[in-house]
Amino acid sequence: MSKRAWTTVTCALAMVICLLLVCLVPLNYVLWAPGNAVRLADNADPEAVISIDGVDAQINGQWLATELSQTGVDQGAVLPQVVAYLFLDEHDALPRQTVDVSSESTIPSDDNLSVDGNDASLAAVSAGVSQAGYPVTERPRIVSVRAGGPSDGLLAVGDFVLAINDQATPTAQSVRQDIADRQVGDPVVLTIQRDGLSSKVTIPALGGSTTNGTIATLGVTVAAGYSYEPDVHLLLTDSQVGPPQGLAIALTTYELLTPLDLAQGRSIAAVGVMADNGTIEAVSGIDEHVASARNAHADIIVIPRSNCQDLTQPDQSITVLPVRTLTDVITVLSSSDNSEWPSC
C-alpha cells in the first residue's frame, strides 16, 4: 500500500474514532420525557394507592399523579440522545447545572443525612387532612437515623420529638437548636411519641457532627412532621413520590375524607408542590407532565398557575386547569359551570 493510501486510511480511522468519542462520551445534560401517571384512587378501586382506616370512601371518578421521566443525578446523556430529545415533541434536554434533579424535599439536616423520601407525601397528606376540617398539629419528626450514631437503636424514623430534657420542642428548628447549644458527650433525655404512645428515651452521649466534630448532634435528621387523627396509608414507592406529586396526593386525601364529589365521574390528574401555607408552587417539565396526563387519558390536569408561562405546547385534547391554592382547586372543581374555569 502506498504512503498516500496509508495516510488516507489513518486519517479516516482517526476521524471515525473522534466521531465515536463525540457520540459516546456522556454529556452533562438532563433528559426529560413524559412519565407514567400513578393511579391514586378511582371508582373501580377506591383504595388503589391511598387508603384511610375506618373510612368507607367512594370515588366517583379517578385521581392521577403525573410523573416526569428524567435522568438521575449520576447519569449523563450522549450527544445523539441530547439531539433527539431537543427535537422530539414533549421531550427536552437541558444543561444539568440549570436543573434541580433532586426529587426530595430540601430539609435542613444537623448532619447532612439523607432525608426520608416520603416527606413530601406526608406534607401533602396533612394539607388534604387540614382542608377536610381535621385538626393538624405540626411536630418535629425524625426522618433518618445514622447507622452507628448516638441514636442508632434508640430512635426510629417516624418518631415525634416532643421535648428534650422536659423542655418542649414544638418545631424541627427548636430541636436542632437545642442540640447545637449542647456539648459533644452530653447525655439528653428525649420525650418522643411513637405509634401514638409517649415515652422517654435517654441518649447516653451526643456525638460530633460528621462535618465538624465539635458540634453536638443526635445523629438524626429532623424535619417538620404532622400529627392528625385520620390514619392515612400511601402505597407508593420513593420513586413515585416527590414534591411535584403533592397536589394530587392532597386532593385525593381530601376527597376520601369528605362527602364532596370533586371528580364527578371525571379522570383528573394533578401536579404541583404543596407549600405549608396551602399555595401550590411550580414544577419543572410542565409540558411533560401534561403529556403524562394525556397519555393516561385524563380529562383534566390541574397545574400551578405559575407554570402557565412555561407551557409551550397547548393541548386541546385535555383541559388544563391552573390554580394558586388548594382551596381554589376545590372551589373550581365543585362548580357545575366550567365556562367560568380559569385558563392559562
Binned at pLDDT 50, 70 and 90, residue 341 comes out as: confident
Separation between Cα atoms, residue 156 and residue 324, nearest integer Å: 36
Count of CB atoms situated within 10 Å of the CB of 248: 29
Separation between Cα atoms, residue 242 and residue 240, nearest integer Å: 7
What is the architecture, at CATH level 2, of domain 33-68+98-107+231-340? 2-Layer Sandwich (3.30)
Same fold, 33-68+98-107+231-340 and 136-227: no
Is the pLDDT at 135 greater than 60? The verdict is yes
Query: Mind listing the pLDDT tens digit for each residue in 226-275?
Result: 888 888 877 766 556 678 899 999 999 999 999 888 988 899 999 999 88
Residue spans of the domains in the chain: they are 33-68+98-107+231-340, 136-227
Separation between Cα atoms, residue 262 and residue 217, nearest integer Å: 46
Is the pLDDT at 98 greater than 70? The verdict is no
Is the pLDDT at 47 greater than 70? The verdict is no
Q: Which residues pair with 62 in a beta bridge?
A: 42, 267
- Angle, alpha carbons 273-274-277 (nearest 5°): 140
Is the pLDDT at 152 greater than 90? The verdict is yes
pLDDT at 238: 58
Strand 62-70 relative to strand 319-323: parallel, antiparallel, unpaired? Answer: unpaired
pTM over 0.85: no
Is domain 136-227 classified as CATH 2.60.40.350? no
Write the DSSP symbol of residue 261: -
Query: Mind listing the pLDDT tens digit for each residue in 311-327?
Result: 886 777 899 999 999 99
